[in-house]
Amino acid sequence: MTTLLKNAWIYTPQGVIEGGCVVIDGAVIVSVGTERPEGRFDCEKDMSGKLLLPGLVNAHTHAAMTLLRGVGTDLPLQKWLFDSVFPVEGRMTAEDIRAGTALALLEMLACGTTSFSDMYFFPWEAAELVEQCGIKANLCYPVQAFDPAEPYEKNESARKLERFYKDWHNAAEGRIRVDGCLHAEYTCNPHVAAGTAAWCRQNGVRMHIHLSETKSEHDTCIEKYGKTPAAWMNDLGVFDVPCAAAHCVWVTAEDRALLREKNVSVIHNPTSNMKLGSGFAPVPELLAEGINVALGTDGAASNNNLNLWEEIKLMPMLQKGNTLDPTVVSPAQTIAAATSAGAKAMGYEDLGLLKPGYLADLILLDLSGAHMCPCNDLESNLVYSAQGSDVALTMVNGKVLYRDGEYTTLDPRLVLERAKKQAEALLDRAARAATAK
């Protein structure tokens, strides 16, 4: 099927095309330009007054944590995790994961997210929903090892990751990819971390990790191992495969040099880092040193939403305020972090740009709102003025998944009902378990 999107504003890194046309053939963009291509098309859509841009990439989240929205508010990371989140997560069922993930998909599609990278338990449930929904996702099972002596061969989370990879890698016509995963240095021992890294190398699998999120994590790792979390990961072979490292708030200059040398992508999560009091990632330095910086929301329990437009606005504003330099982190760098850099972090070479030969993952933004007028600088408006509610259409592989408040593959009424029901039951189970101790 061929589709012509005409009379649109079109965002490209080289500039904005006004009154342009995009032609899609099946799942692929075949032309982008100012002139209407010759020939007939199966479908023509007039996009006057609207902006076409690449779909947003949420490069780090925990989708099913939507059920934990608001749990453990106003706590630092370690206390939030171990005292509030882990006790509830330990009571989660496969049905909880289904309900929470469906809710996350509802939220992300409405805000223009077309791809996301998820780290969470019960990924089989998430994979089924991604397949049905039509979105793209990199999924993984987080490997953890709290026993310092446990060998890789006896670690059950590593076995689950291996099984999940066999079951779902490159499924759903390639929309689902399975990554390797180490939850973090402080939740894993060296034996299991090294074994997981070796398995990734042997199978050509990417890696998704948490890295240097808090000062406590950074300092404790140095006390325990005599090295930073980044050096610890590198020495165990984690960076010998393509790797996406979430947070990187407390990376040193030496750490950054290592990340650059190993081509590690950094996933910046500004809202989560601020809400948990973790600090400010050195984004200007990371960008200046040529490190690929993408954007993520983290989970809804530490954000509390999955609206990537909030991260887009916060990314440059946070850095300007923290450095006292209004010139750092440009609108173009920010938009790239939410699109092409995120695609690169997920391992795609044909995603994140409106360009011939690239996959037709795109969104349509309504420019008619008062907050978008006047449009003296479109890039500036996109970063500092645009809202998730401005998204009028979300398309993945040439298929419309969301248009003007309506979903083509999800029933929002059922999703919301199930999420409310499962969240209530989950928190009740967790409360009863805590009381019984």
- Per residue, what are the HEC states of 89-109? HCCCCHHHHHHHHHHHHHHHH
Residues 6 or more apart whose Cβ sits within 8 Å of residue 178:
123, 138, 139, 140, 164, 165, 168, 169, 205
What pLDDT is attached to residue 15?
Answer: 87
pLDDT score of 124 more than 80: yes
CATH topology classification for 56-345: TIM Barrel (3.20.20)
What pLDDT is attached to residue 24?
Answer: 97
The domain segmentation of the chain, as residue ranges, is 2-54+353-407, 56-345
Give the pLDDT band of residue 369 (cuts 50, 70, 90).
very high
User: Per the structure block, which two tokens stand in for 43?
Assistant: 């479908």
Mean pLDDT over 211-215 rounds to 97
What pLDDT is attached to residue 13?
Answer: 82
Give the pLDDT band of residue 151 (cuts 50, 70, 90).
very high
Q: Are 280 and 244 in contact (CB under 8 A)?
A: no
pLDDT score of 358 more than 80: yes
- Per residue, what are the HEC states of the chain? CEEEEEEEEEEECCEEEEEEEEEEECCEEEEEECCCCCCCCCEEEECCCEEEEECEEEEEECHHHHHHCCCCCCCCHHHHHHHHHHHHHCCCCHHHHHHHHHHHHHHHHHCCEEEEEEECCCHHHHHHHHHHHCCEEEEECCECCCCCCCCHHHCHHHHHHHHHHHHHCCECCCCEEECEEECCHHHCCHHHHHHHHHHHHHHCCCEEEEECCCHHHHHHHHHHHCCCHHHHHHHCCHHHCCEEEEECCCCCHHHHHHHHHCCCEEEECHHHHHHCCCCCCCHHHHHHCCCCEEECCCCCCCCCCCCHHHHHHHHHHHHHHHHCCCCCCCHHHHHHHHCHHHHHHCCCCCCCCCCCCCECCEEEEECCCHHHCCCCCHHHHHHHCCCHHHEEEEEECCEEEEECCEECCCCHHHHHHHHHHHHHHHHHHHHHHHHHC
CA atoms lying within 13 Å on the CB side of residue 417: 5
Tens of pLDDT along 263-296? Answer: 999 999 999 999 999 999 999 999 999 999 999 9
Tens of pLDDT along 15-44? Answer: 899 999 999 999 999 999 998 998 899 999
Closest CA to 270 of 338, 209, 341: 338
pLDDT score of 437 more than 80: no
Q: Cα(280)–Cα(201) distance, rounded to whole angstroms?
A: 32
pLDDT score of 81 more than 90: no
pLDDT score of 167 more than 80: yes
Buried b (16+ CB within 10 A) or exposed e, 330-347: ebebbbbbbbbbbbbbbb
Mean pLDDT over 369-396 rounds to 96
What pLDDT is attached to residue 89?
Answer: 87
C-alpha 249 chain-centroid distance: 17
Q: What percent of the chain has pLDDT over 70?
A: 100
Residues 6 or more apart whose Cβ sits within 8 Å of residue 400:
393, 394, 408
Q: Are 44 and 56 in contact (CB under 8 A)?
A: no
pLDDT score of 387 more than 80: yes
Mean pLDDT over 182-190 rounds to 97
Q: How many CB atoms lie within 10 A of CB 51?
A: 24
Tens of pLDDT along 304-313? Answer: 999 999 999 9
What pLDDT is attached to residue 273?
Answer: 96
Q: How many CB atoms lie within 10 A of CB 184?
A: 21
What pLDDT is attached to residue 65?
Answer: 95
C-alpha 204 chain-centroid distance: 21
Q: Cα(4)–Cα(25) distance, rounded to whole angstroms?
A: 9
Ranges 21-30, 325-334, 425-434: which has the least confidence: 425-434
Q: What percent of the chain has pLDDT over 90?
A: 91
**What are the phi and psi torsion angles at 45 (to 5°)?**
-130, 130
What pLDDT is attached to residue 434?
Answer: 78
The residues that bridge with 118 in the sheet, in sequence order, are 61, 139
CATH class of the domain comprising 2-54+353-407: mainly beta
